Amino acid sequence: MAQRVIFHVDANSAFLSWTAAYKVKVLGEKVDIRDVPSVVAGDKESRHSIILAKSTPAKKYGIQTGEPLFQALEKCPDLVVVQPDYELYVEASRHFVEMLRQFSPAVEQYSIDEAWVDMTGTERLWGSPRLAAEKMRQRIWDELGFTVNVGISSNKLLAKMAGDFEKPNKVHTLFPEEVEAKFWPLPVRDLFLVGAATERKLKMLGIYTIGELAKADVKVLKKRLGKHGETIWHFANGRNADAVMPEPAENKGYGNATTTAQDVVTHEQAHRVLLSLCETVAMRMRKDGQCGGCISIHLRTNEFHHFSHQSVLHGATNVTSEIFEAACRVFDEMWDGITPLRQLGVQMTRLSREPYQQYDFFSGVSPQQCERKMRLDETVDALRDKFGEDIIRRAKFAQTPGEHMSGGLDKARRTGVTKPVPKEF
């Protein structure tokens, strides 16, 4: 049986690269922002102003993805700052995945800027795995105008780890026979699914490298880290049998969060933010034909302390008003009414394909009323799909500034609306 060949393809500094490619290839600009210290970041006046992507020259100033923009400007006062354009990124991502599907039909998109490609059995079409990867890398650059890293292995995990080796614009292999030499010497934090908290626990066990983790006693790891300990032990040994899945996995939950422009200090302010979040969460659930039976509220204070609380509902729903009512109830139970908040989040889990409701005689809510709410939401969704999200908004936002539909997804990514981009991009 032929060995599996899996590629992991990752666009280098995607948001900045896609912006640069659009400016150069489509708008005809002479200066390529990839060649100067530059970043993609939000509005300087907003608390959303963090670095989303950086150029290689910006990296030389010590600028890091995820750091506040004001800190980056202190490091490099002449830094070129470009605001994110999610309509462009959605379109660039679509072209990127379409290009990968020209090499193999088995493409699993992992995020907006990375994907796995099952290249097993394609040697007669594209040559050896490395040669095929070089052809893919070069074609993406020639036709789409941005660079990628390609990791090659016999499974998805090792392909992804290989793709994270030296960047940008490189092809790397990490087959099982190369694990000991290329993989095991790396810091344990470099391993997929090992975060800061797990790294600290592993170091307390004297485990600093991926190789030390691979050779550790799995029983000890399970005792200290639970099931996650066994998972990362298998990963450290290069084991992963997951197939490339061309269709995305079904959501296990729907959630959105937003960082507010000013601290939230009243229940009225908080309820407005929660309503805007419930609008987008419920809209996404209805679009996918899902209902939720458990709601979670996540809060972050202005001192960056995080806490959350959840409640099981009496049924499963995707009706905005019902989700909002539950969100307010949970929020009012958990917030002291004093501590300033900078971030609020709403999440719905316990998903069901069909709505259901437990009615009681004293609630005054009839099945007919619930049915009318569902039909109303569907009508609002149809209007927003046709004329845009701002065509209709709730009265609560009529006299109040701020987004009436907010959350972790930009409007372009929520709706899939994209700007017209020439085919050659």
Known catalytic residues are 114
Nearest to 91 by CA among 424, 329, 419: 419
Buried residues in 13-44 as b, exposed as e (16+ CB within 10 A): bbbbbbbbbbbbbeeeeeeebbeebbbbbbee
Element (H, E) at 70: helix 69-75
> Interior CA angle at 232 toward 107 and 211, to 5°?
110
| Structure-token pair, residue 343 | 């971030």
Of 259, 317, 310, which is closest to residue 291 (Cα–Cα)?
317
C-alpha to C-alpha distance for 156 and 159, rounded to whole angstroms = 5
How far is Cα 54 from Cα 17, in angstroms, rounded to an integer? 9
Report the amino acid identity of residue 49: S
Burial 386-400 (b: 16+ CB within 10 A, else e): eeebeeebbeebeee
Task: Report how far residue 356's alpha carbon sits from residue 373's, in angstroms, rounded to the nearest whole number.
Answer: 14
Q: What tokens does 185 get?
A: 């010497």
Beta strands in 363-421 (DSSP E): none
Question: Cα separation of 64 and 280, whole Å?
Answer: 30
Q: What b-and-e string marks burial along 262-273, b requiring 16 or more CB atoms within 10 Å of the CB?
A: eebeeeebbbbb
Name the β-bridge partners of 81.
39
**For residue 290, how many other CB atoms are within 10 A of its CB?**
20
